[in-house]
Amino acid sequence: MTDVSQHKQQLRDYFDGDGFQRWSAIYGEAEVSRVRRTIRVGHNRMLARAEAWLLEWVSATGRDPHTLNALDAGCGTGVFSTMLAQHGFSVTAVDIAPQMTAATAERVRAAGVAQRVTCLTGDIDAVAGTFDVVACFDVLIHYPQPAFDQLIAHLADCTRGLFLFTYAPYEPLLAAMHWIGGFFPRANRRTEIQMIREDDVRRAVGAHGLHVGRIEPIRSGFYHVNLVEAVHVER
Ligand X SMILES: C[S@@+](CC[C@H](N)C(=O)[O-])C[C@H]1O[C@@H](n2cnc3c(N)ncnc32)[C@H](O)[C@@H]1O
DSSP reduced 3-state for 92? strand
> Can you tell me the distance from the alpha carbon of 49 to that of 43, in angstroms, rounded to the nearest whole number?
10
Q: Does 138 bind ligand X (CB under 6 A)?
A: yes
- Residue nearer to ligand X on the CB measure, 60 or 187: 187
> Can you tell me the distance from the alpha carbon of 145 to that of 128, in angstroms, rounded to the nearest whole number?
22
User: Quick one: how far is CA 17 from the chain centroid?
Assistant: 19
Of 50, 58, 79, 225, the one binding ligand X (CB under 6 A) is 79
Q: Does 15 bind ligand X (CB under 6 A)?
A: yes
Question: Which of 180, 187, 212, 214 has the alpha carbon at shortest distance from 6?
Answer: 187
Q: Which residues of 173-192 are buried (b: 16+ CB within 10 A; e: fewer)?
A: ebbebbeebebbbeeebeeb
Stretch that binds ligand X, among 8-16, 63-71, 173-181, 220-228 (CB under 6 A): 8-16
Question: Which of 209, 210, 223, 131 has the alpha carbon at shortest distance from 174?
Answer: 223
Q: Does 85 bind ligand X (CB under 6 A)?
A: no
Of 42, 65, 76, 185, the one binding ligand X (CB under 6 A) is 76
Beta pairing, strands 131-136 & 159-169: parallel
Q: Does 222 bind ligand X (CB under 6 A)?
A: no
Q: Does 100 bind ligand X (CB under 6 A)?
A: yes
Residues 101-130 that bind ligand X (CB under 6 A): 123-124
Of 90, 92, 95, 192, the one binding ligand X (CB under 6 A) is 95
Of 50, 85, 94, 196, the one binding ligand X (CB under 6 A) is 94
Conformation bin of residue 231: beta by default, left when phi > 0, alpha when psi is -120 to 50: beta
User: In whole angstroms, how close is the CB of 234 to ligand X at the nearest point?
Assistant: 28
User: In whole angstroms, how close is the CB of 98 to ligand X at the nearest point?
Assistant: 9
> Can you tell me the distance from the alpha carbon of 139 to that of 228, in angstroms, rounded to the nearest whole number?
13
Count of residues that bind ligand X according to CB under 6 A: 21
Q: Does 140 bind ligand X (CB under 6 A)?
A: no
Stretch that binds ligand X, among 30-38, 89-97, 184-192, 227-235 (CB under 6 A): 89-97
User: In whole angstroms, how close is the CB of 132 to ligand X at the nearest point?
Assistant: 18
Using alpha carbons, list the distances in angstroms from residue 212 to 130, 184, 195, 202, 227: 19, 29, 18, 7, 11
- Residues contributing to the site for ligand X (CB under 6 A): 8, 11, 15, 23, 27, 74-76, 79-80, 94-97, 100, 123-124, 137-139, 142
